């Protein structure tokens, strides 16, 4: 049985892999349908299908220009492997999501965003070019200027246009492996959004929200605002080797938790302890990049905490003009439901890009985890209607249940994407459970 990170849905599938372009080409041509899979960190069914092609064996670095900060590698290389090489040489990923345990191919196919989206944009903003193997057996290099249609359909295209084989990405120069972070307590949602506005020029921002709170404390949160620390800031903090990362030890969740372990009382206790830890209203300190960007990676297999039935992450974005009202209404609805999320993250997103079905739009995005239960899906359908009414959409890489109608209504480029996909993949070879559900 195989599943995405949410352990829902779990399916039986034929999983194959190959480590050369020719073998991958032959494999693709031997199947009626296939979907590429990276490191399976997408939560739902976007990398699941009856035939799954693992891209992990494509794990070679091809070139690293450490003067210009340009890296060329195969699509199965993990972001963690890239960081291990580039950080000691004074470079960092221009865009990184909240886990480094994903492949370059997965980062492109989901056009992932990080804490700097309001300034830097999504992963594709740092993508110089890539090579994509089409269902015809032809490999095409594309970039924002060359074969741009393929580029904008493949970035965010969830593996449905072809197999990303190789990519060339632009890195960001840094002076240290540390982040200077400020944590600020926000009384409620409105206060949190004011803090985001005040910190708009700070390169890295996100807030952790306690979504069990009600009334005037609804949206009580902690905002994290940071930047890559300078050599000077490291010295002041007593760090002698600024480019040597200080990676925290990993812990593990040894088995699936029983589902009663995650009732609303335990969620309340968890939320309260995190908020209490930040007793000062504002705190400033220096932390390793791992602590700042990837706190969840330090708990190996933390997804098991949701038990055997698994969970889904509901991540939506609302446009700037309706964010305050819409997120307030949705949080109220979640709080009333008592189905409380273990983890809720609020981020400000910047401008939309040209990719046909990339998730980000200018506004705020909220991500919440929900353990799978009988009551859950009707409830999420209700949230979907609210998201649509406020002009928003749901993130495909987290999704396991959105309807085709919701996809078409909320992604403006959906129709163009579907038409283009079928133009270059006439027999609809690249197919996932998600693409079938969404009528792609
Ligand atoms: C703890 C955690 C935190 C996260 N935080 C964030 C975040 O902050 N921001 C964010 O945007 N995302 C976030 N994510 C989601 C994650 O970044 C994406 O789901 C990412 O796409 C996973 O990459 P992967 O290599 O595991 O790909 P998979 O999950 O295996 O696949 C994801 C999609 O990419 C396609 N794909 C994979 N490889 C290729 C390839 N070579 N060619 C073509 N298509 C391919 C698959 O078909 C599938 O549609 C987070 C996930 C976790 C578990």
Query: Which atom of ligand 1 is found nearest the CA of 122?
Result: 11
- Long-range contact pairs involving 253-260 (C-beta distance under 8 Å, separation at least 24): 253/299, 253/300, 253/301, 253/302, 253/303, 253/304, 253/305, 254/304, 255/304, 256/304, 256/306, 256/307, 256/308, 257/304, 257/305, 257/306, 257/307, 258/307, 259/306, 259/307, 259/308, 259/309, 259/371, 259/373
Index of the ligand 1 atom closest to the CA of residue 110: 21
Q: Whose CA is nearest to atom 53 of ligand 1?
A: 41
Contact between 410 and 130 (Cβ < 8 Å) = no
User: Is 418 inside any structural domain?
Assistant: no
Name the residue of 167, 306, 397, 430 to mutate for ligand 1: max ligand atoms within 8 A of Cβ.
397
Query: Which of 175, 191, 206 is a domain's end point?
Result: 175
- Which pLDDT score, from 0 to 100, does residue 303 have? 81
For ligand 1, residues with CB inside 6 Å are 5, 35-42, 46-47, 55, 75, 97-99, 102-103, 105-106, 109-110, 112-114, 158-159, 163-164, 296, 397, 432
417 alpha carbon – ligand 1 mean position (Å): 19
Residues 113 and 258 both lie in one domain: no
Q: Do residue 330 and residue 359 come from a single domain? A: yes
Mutation test residue for ligand 1: of 18, 112, 311, the one with most atoms within 8 Å of CB: 112
252 shares its domain with 307:
yes
**Do 158 and 306 sit in the same domain of this protein?**
no
Residue 114, in any domain of the structure: yes
- Do 98 and 116 touch, CB atoms closer than 8 A? no
Range of the domain at 11: 2-53
Pair 171, 183 in one domain: no
Residue with CA at minimum distance from ligand 1 atom 7: 97
Where the chain has pLDDT below 50, the residues are 260
> Does 255 lie in the same domain as 222?
yes
Q: 68, 376, 344, 328: which is closest to 217 by C-alpha?
A: 328
228 in the same domain as 115: no
Final residue of a structural domain among 116, 146, 175: 175
Residues 354 and 378 in one domain: yes
Q: What is the CATH number of the domain that holds 134?
A: 3.30.465.10
**Closest ligand 1 atom number to CA of residue 58:** 41
In a domain, 398, yes or no: yes
In whole angstroms, give the CA distance from residue 7 to residue 240. Answer: 42
In a domain, 419, yes or no: no
CA-nearest of 80, 19, 98 to 54 is: 19
Q: What is the CATH number of the domain that holds 292?
A: 3.30.70.2520
**DSSP-derived pairing of the beta strands 91-93 and 163-173:** antiparallel
- Our mutation pick for probing the ligand 1 site, out of 55, 107, 110, counting the most ligand atoms within 8 A of Cβ, is 110
In a domain, 432, yes or no: no
Query: Within a domain: residue 428?
Result: no
Q: Ligand 1 centre from 107 Cα, in Å? A: 5
Same domain, 255 and 368: yes
Residue nearest to atom 35 of ligand 1 (CA): 159
One domain, residues 299 and 268: yes
Distance (Å, whole) CA 14 – CA 70 = 36
Residue nearest to atom 9 of ligand 1 (CA): 97
Angstrom distance (rounded) from CA 399 to CA 312: 7
The reply to whether 148 and 29 lie within a common domain is no
Does any domain span residue 435? Answer: no
Cα of 9 from ligand 1 centre, angstroms: 16
Is 422 inside any structural domain?
A: no
Total domains in the fold of the chain = 3
Q: Are strands 10-11 and 178-186 parallel, antiparallel or unpaired?
A: unpaired
User: Looking at the structure, do residues 166 and 309 belong to the same domain, yes or no?
Assistant: no
Minimum-distance ligand 1 atom for the alpha carbon of 76: 41
Angstrom distances, CA of residue 13 to CA of 16, 27, 241, 299: 10, 15, 47, 28
Q: Which residue, 151, 175, 199, sits at the end of a domain?
A: 175
Collapsing DSSP to helix, strand or coil, 8 comes out as coil
Q: Which of 5, 47, 434 to mutate to test the pocket of ligand 1 (most atoms within 8 A of CB)?
A: 47
């Amino acid at each position: 049985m195989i599943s995405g990170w949410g352990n829902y849905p779990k399916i039986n599938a034929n999983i194959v892999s190959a480590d050369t372009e020719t073998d991958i080409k032959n494999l693709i041509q031997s199947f009626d349908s296939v979907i590429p899979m990276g490191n399976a960190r997408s939560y739902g069914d976007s990398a699941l299908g009856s035939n799954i092609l693992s891209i992990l064996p494509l794990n070679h670095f091809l070139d690293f220009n450490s003067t210009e900060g340009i890296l060329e590698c195969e699509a199965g290389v993990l972001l963690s492997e890239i960081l291990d090489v580039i950080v000691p040489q004074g470079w960092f990923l221009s865009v990184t999501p909240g886990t480094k345990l994903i492949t370059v191919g997965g980062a492109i196919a989901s056009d992932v965003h990080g804490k700097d989206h309001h300034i830097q944009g999504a992963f594709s903003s740092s993508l110089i070019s890539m090579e994509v193997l089409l269902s015809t057996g032809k490999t095409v290099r594309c970039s924002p200027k060359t074969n741009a249609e393929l580029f904008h359909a493949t970035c965010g295209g969830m593996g449905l246009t072809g197999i990303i084989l190789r990519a060339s990405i632009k890195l960001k120069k840094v002076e240290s492996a540390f982040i200077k972070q400020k944590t600020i307590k926000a009384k409620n949602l409105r206060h949190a959004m004011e803090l985001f506005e005040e910190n708009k020029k700070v390169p890295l921002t996100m807030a952790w929200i306690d979504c069990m709170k009600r009334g005037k404390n609804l949206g009580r949160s902690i905002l994290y605002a940071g930047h890559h620390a300078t050599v000077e800031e490291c010295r002041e903090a007593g760090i002698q080797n600024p480019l040597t990362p200080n990676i925290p030890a990993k812990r593990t969740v040894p088995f699936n938790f029983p589902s009663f372990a995650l009732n609303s009382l335990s969620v309340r206790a968890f939320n309260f302890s995190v908020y209490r830890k930040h007793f000062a209203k504002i705190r400033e300190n220096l932390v390793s990049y791992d602590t700042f960007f990837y706190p969840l990676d330090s708990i190996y297999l933390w997804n098991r905490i949701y038990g055997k039935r698994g969970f889904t992450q509901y991540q939506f974005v609302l446009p700037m003009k309706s964010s305050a009202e819409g997120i307030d209404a949705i949080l109220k609805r979640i709080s009333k439901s008592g189905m409380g999320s273990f983890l809720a993250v609020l981020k400000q997103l910047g401008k939309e890009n040209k990719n046909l079905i990339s998730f980000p739009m200018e506004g705020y995005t909220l991500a919440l985890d929900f353990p799978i239960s009988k009551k859950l899906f009707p409830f999420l359908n209700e949230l979907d209607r609210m998201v649509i009414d406020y002009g928003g959409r749901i993130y495909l890489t987290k999704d396991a249940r959105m309807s085709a109608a919701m996809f078409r209504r909320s992604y403006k480029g959906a129709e163009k994407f579907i038409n283009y996909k079928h133009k270059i993949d006439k027999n609809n070879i690249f197919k996932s459970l998600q693409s079938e559900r969404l009528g792609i």
